[in-house]
Every structure is written in C-alpha cells, then in structure tokens.
Structure 1
Amino acid sequence: MLLRCPAPVRARPAAFGHRRPARRVACRVVASAAPREDVLLRSLSENAEVSVLVVDGTRLVAEAQHRHKLAPTATAALGRALLGALLMGSFRKEDEQVQITFQGNGLAGSVLAMADTRGNVKGKVGNPNADPPLRADGKLNVGAAVGKGVLAVVRSHPLEPQPYTGMVPIVSGEVAEDLANYLVDSEQTNSALGLGVSLDRHCNVKSAGGWLVQILPFCSEETLEQLEKNLTTMPSVSAMLNDGLTAADITARILAGLGMISEEGNMVPRYGPCEEGPLKQRMVRAVAALGRQEVADIIKTEGKLEVTCDLCQQTYHFSQDEVDAYLDAQAVSVQSRDG
C-alpha cells in the first residue's frame, strides 16, 4: 500500500499558508523573547517500520529573514524551502549535499536552498520583496509568489562522479506539496512531508518547522493505516509549535499508536555556514578575474570595491593591494608549473 505523500498537504492547506497582518504598514522589527533552541530530531516507530524527522527551525528562518530583509510572503517561501532542504539533506551519507531550486514564474523569482548532512542550510530568493495579495482564505499566497515552472533537486557527493539531478513540474508552488511530489516521482520514496512558517502581527517569524515521514521496507498495512490517520487529523506544524509543542511532542503525535524510539545524534540546525576564509578566497578570485585595470577603475570611481555573498548577505571590501597580491601569486604558480 502506497502512503500518498501529497495527501496530508492537500487535506489541510492551512498547514502551509499563514495569515498576514491586515495592514502591511504595521510590519516592523520589534524586540521579542528569544524562541527556544532549534533542533532536528530523528526517530523510529517501535516496530522499525517508519522513520520520522521533525525540525523546529524558528531561529534559523528568523535569521534568514533578517539576513535577506524578506517581505512576509518571501519569508514563508524561503523558510519552507530551507526547512524542506534541511529535512531532505540531513542524516545521509557524510559530505553529501542537496540543493533544491524552485524556478517559477511568480513574483519571488527563483527560490534556492542548499543543505548538508550536518544540519547546515542556506539559501536565497530572487525577489526578497515578493509579497502578493493574500489568498481568498486570508493566508499568505506562497503559491502565487513561487508560480508555475520547474522544481529541480540536485544531490551531490565529492566521491560521486557526477551529481544526481531530478526535475518535476511545480504542482502548487506551496513548497511542501511540490517536494512531496518530487520524492514520489523522482526518488520513488514512500514518504509524507509537512512544512510551516508562521509570522506574528509585526511580520517577525513566530514559528517555523517541518516533518518528513518515510515508510521503511516491509511496513505493514496496520502501520500505514495508523500513520495515515495520525497525519490527516494532526494540526499544522506551525500551529503545534505555536501551542508550545516541541519536536519530540510533534514526533509523538505523528507516531501515536506506533511507539517512538528517539535515535542518537540529534542536530542543531543552523543557517550557513559561509566561512569567512573560503568565502573571501572565492570572492577575491572573482574580483581578480576583472583584471588589474578594471579593479583600479572601480576603486577610483566608487571609492571602494565590495562584494556581497548572495546566500549569507555578508559584504567584504577588497583593496587594490589584495587583488594585486592574488594575481602575483597566481602568476608565480603558473611559472612554477610551466618551468
């Protein structure tokens, strides 16, 4: 029996859309109590027939909103993508990475998220100001922000000769349903997926989380029936987080009647990393490709030369001396190799 992964998503559209304040002009950053620590919890049913990942990524999505200065709907779109990539990329082969890209025709443009097996995730949205009108039911219209197009998922590993790429049409643009559809169609993974980002009346991230349920081989009909019952009657993940439930509480709701075994090695997910050393090295390499004269002209005209990372929004400044030193080192390296 196939557990239809899109079913829980379609059955409760409220789980993946969230009410925006009635007046956008009220959106502002205010001081608030710090949310609890983020966590990514991995568990099994007692009969080892169902694997569950649950993430509370409230701080993570709040950081992404702050870094990219995102409008409410753009926050929900990128937040869901980050959480989805995190769930799809964690606890896999060491050093494996997953990248998901929603290339839609909506106001948000391209929405990208990248995650590794250790719970690190980062991403960007093409238009941080994307904020289409609310849906008819008063929810944030993430589907309109993403639009129709293609969802691409790339899994890569340094020891693999080439990455695996899967592509499917965007079904709804609501992110969770599209990722669930991808898992069934491209990876033949019998699974279900839920994601949610909730904003408060000041447009700050109130809660953000998700769950990924995977059916393991030889799962019984009785287990599937109980699991489907749990998923279709369960509140949205953001509603549960807003009510104070922890990742362990949500896992218990998913596995009600099946028992729960928490596995060791739970993670604290985080945004990034874009380590300063490697990042600056890539940036100076890109700057040096402009050539000495072009760099000199920019510094003369602008008074400085700065480069900003699209994924972490960190800006670095480079001097003519730094660029010259890099080009000189490259020239010496070439001479040594050719000599």
Structure 2
Amino acid sequence: MADKLIRATAADNGIRAVGVITTRLTEEARQRHNLSYVATAALGRTMTAGLLLVSSMKKAESRVNIRFEGNGPLGSILVDAGLDGTVRGYVQNPEVELPPNDKGKLDVGGAVGKDGYLYVIRDVGYGYPYSSTVELVSGEVGDDIANYLVTSEQTPSALLLGVFVGADGVTAAGGLLLQVLPKAARDESLVALLESRVSKLSGFTPLLRAGKSLNDIMEDMLGDLGLTIMPESQLVRFSCRCSFDRVLGALKMLGEAELQDMIEKDEGAEATCQFCNEVYQATESELSRIIDDLRAESN
C-alpha cells in the first residue's frame, strides 16, 4: 500500500478528517538513522503528525516543524513536514531501547519522557512563522499533539497515530486526524461522539494490518455523518532538502582559518545531515576554492 494522504469532510462540513499512510517513509527513516524499535515508533508517529498538521495549510510553501524535548532517554525529536507531502526528521539518541510498557507495547512515552515541552512552528509561506509551546502530557506523541491542538489552536480534535515495527522493519504506520470545526464546535454531542468512536479503537496500525484502506477507515468512522472523501489523494514521502551545495555554503561560514586547518589536518572535510544521515565529503581542492572565494569577497 502506497504512502498517501486523503482528506474528507462530514457533518455538513462541520468535521474535517485527514488520514495518512506512512509505512514506507517511516521504514526509510529507520534505515537511514539506524533507529531502535522505540525510536522508530517515536519518530514515525511524529512524522505522521507533521503531515497531518500541515495538510490544513494553504500556500504550497507551507511547512510545520515539530520538536519534542522530553526528559526521556531519546532526547530531542525534530520533524519538518511540508504541504507538498515531504517529511524528514531525526531522533537525538536513535539507539535507545526500552522494555515494553505495561500494555505490552513499545514504551514511547517512557522514551520521550512525560516532563518537558512540545514546540510547534507553522510557516505559512510568508511573513513570520507562528510558534507555540505546550507542556508534555504523556510523551506518547499522539496525546501531546492532540493537547497542542486543543490548547494552542482551540480546535477539538481526535488523533490516532501508530507505527508497527518488527524484525523485518516497519510493516504498518499512519494516522487519522478528526477535527470539529468552529461552526460545529458548539455541538458537544458531536465532539463526544468522535471521542467515543476513537476511544473504542485499539489503535491505527491494527486497522492497516487487517487490510483496511484509508477510505475504509474513514467510512467506518464517519460514514453515517454525511462523509465526503475528496477524490484526489496525495503521495507522501521521506525527503530531505540537504545538498552538497548547501554543505559548501555552511563550510564557507567557518572562515578561512578553520578551513585551512581542515586542509592541513584532515585533508578535507566531512559533514553529515542530521535529518537524513547523508554524508558529504569535501576535498582539499574544494576547500581551497572556498578559501579563494572568501579572499576575493574581502578585497
């Protein structure tokens, strides 16, 4: 099943629904960063959340950045997602592994930590980005993103995020976001109905592993509420904006003295992108050309 995102409405446009499958992109992140089981689940959930959050923005250049800073052993989690369907991210300590929690599931909450903060930045494509900070409520990612939506955006929301990872890698990942829009938010029974339906589910990945498509899941959740699924789906993928030219630009900022030191001691330079783990090598001659450019600019 391809990684893709679909959008829908229900209850006379009073409910907005977005579903996304992120199995392949989460597996790519796992391989790129050599992630442990629990780190895969944490990063996969956060990347899925990023794609769901950015899906409601308008301008093509819109992006959402999500950063978890909890007191757990995983350290920071940083994700960058775009309206174009691209997402990337990394975990500070990707090798951390924990025993299952008391429910027998991957202990994402323990790995992230229950004390700390969630930072969300929305770049709408022009002007200054909007930033929000909320305290963590559980470290389980989904709970914290839902709390952010209610606290910072005042939008009643139900959120399901899931990653199933086994010995063969990630076999199911994705999520579902249901939001009661302002025109319907005063209908407390509608909010309660959505919460009740989500609470009865055992998770999102069991639905995928049972062969359910995004359309099936939407139909089961909202089919009796006037569901309208948009005909166009969007492909989503892991994609990083790093490049060798950007690396050379970053090296240029180090200055002539440090670049010369790299030439003499290391016979070049090596840089690794945190987001995708791509390694870039700059030769002595390339560093020498940067030094020549710096000298030319100073004259």
Q: TM-score, normalised by structure 1?
A: 0.81
Higher strand share: 2
Once residues 190 and 116 of structure 2 are traced to their aligned partners in structure 1, the CA distance between those partners, rounded to angstroms, is 36
The match for 1:242 is 209
1:207 pairs with 2:164:
no
Once residues 262 and 41 of structure 1 are traced to their aligned partners in structure 2, the CA distance between those partners, rounded to angstroms, is 8
The match for 1:285 is 249
SS in 1 for 2:177: strand
Report Cα offsets for 1:22-73 as digits up to 9, x if no partner.
xxxxxxxxxxxxxx21110101116222110000110010011011100000
The match for 1:33 is none
The match for 1:323 is 287
SS in 2 for 1:82: helix
Shift of 1:223: 4.1
The match for 2:94 is 128
- After TM superposition, list the pairs within 5 Å mapping 1:49-88 onto structure 2: 49-88=14-53
SS in 2 for 1:305: strand
CA spacing shift, 1:296–1:330, aligned 2, 3 Å: closer
The match for 2:148 is 182
Once residues 222 and 289 of structure 1 are traced to their aligned partners in structure 2, the CA distance between those partners, rounded to angstroms, is 57
Any conservation in 2 of the 1:230–1:256 contact (CA below 8 Å)? no
The match for 1:306 is 270
Shift of 1:330: 4.6
SS in 2 for 1:206: strand
- After TM superposition, list the pairs within 5 Å mapping 1:1-339 onto structure 2: 36-45=1-10, 47-94=12-59, 95-147=61-113, 148-160=115-127, 162-200=128-166, 202=167, 204-219=169-184, 220=187, 223-275=190-242, 279-333=243-297
Bigger drift between 104-113 and 255-264 goes to: 255-264
CA spacing shift, 1:274–1:145, aligned 2, 3 Å: same
Structure 1 residues not aligned, in runs of 5+: 1-35
SS in 1 for 2:251: helix
Shift of 1:300: 4.1
Shift of 1:239: 0.4
The match for 1:11 is none
Structure 2 residues not aligned, in runs of 5+: none
Shift of 1:326: 3.0
Shift of 1:293: 4.4
Any conservation in 2 of the 1:280–1:316 contact (CA below 8 Å)? yes
The match for 1:26 is none
Once residues 156 and 274 of structure 1 are traced to their aligned partners in structure 2, the CA distance between those partners, rounded to angstroms, is 16
Given residue 238 of structure 1, which amino acid in structure 2 is its aligned partner? T
Given residue 131 of structure 2, which amino acid in structure 1 is its aligned partner? T
Shift of 1:248: 1.1
Any conservation in 2 of the 1:97–1:157 contact (CA below 8 Å)? yes
Identity of aligned residues (%): 37
CA RMSD between the two structures: 2.0
Shift of 1:292: 3.8
Given residue 239 of structure 2, which amino acid in structure 1 is its aligned partner? G
Given residue 183 of structure 1, which amino acid in structure 2 is its aligned partner? L
Any conservation in 1 of the 2:267–2:283 contact (CA below 8 Å)? no
CA spacing shift, 1:287–1:227, aligned 2, 3 Å: same
CA spacing shift, 1:181–1:91, aligned 2, 3 Å: closer
Report Cα offsets for 1:119-162 as digits up to 9, x if no partner.
111111000011122212221111111012111111123421x2
Once residues 281 and 135 of structure 1 are traced to their aligned partners in structure 2, the CA distance between those partners, rounded to angstroms, is 44
Shift of 1:283: 1.4
Shift of 1:98: 0.9
Shift of 1:255: 0.7
Once residues 15 and 292 of structure 2 are traced to their aligned partners in structure 1, the CA distance between those partners, rounded to angstroms, is 57
Any conservation in 2 of the 1:46–1:261 contact (CA below 8 Å)? no
CA spacing shift, 1:158–1:42, aligned 2, 3 Å: closer
Any conservation in 2 of the 1:192–1:214 contact (CA below 8 Å)? yes
Any conservation in 2 of the 1:153–1:165 contact (CA below 8 Å)? yes
Between the two proteins, the alignment pairs up a number of residues equal to: 295
Once residues 193 and 126 of structure 2 are traced to their aligned partners in structure 1, the CA distance between those partners, rounded to angstroms, is 40
SS in 2 for 1:114: strand
Report Cα offsets for 1:278-315 as digits up to 9, x if no partner.
x3232112222333443343344334421110001111
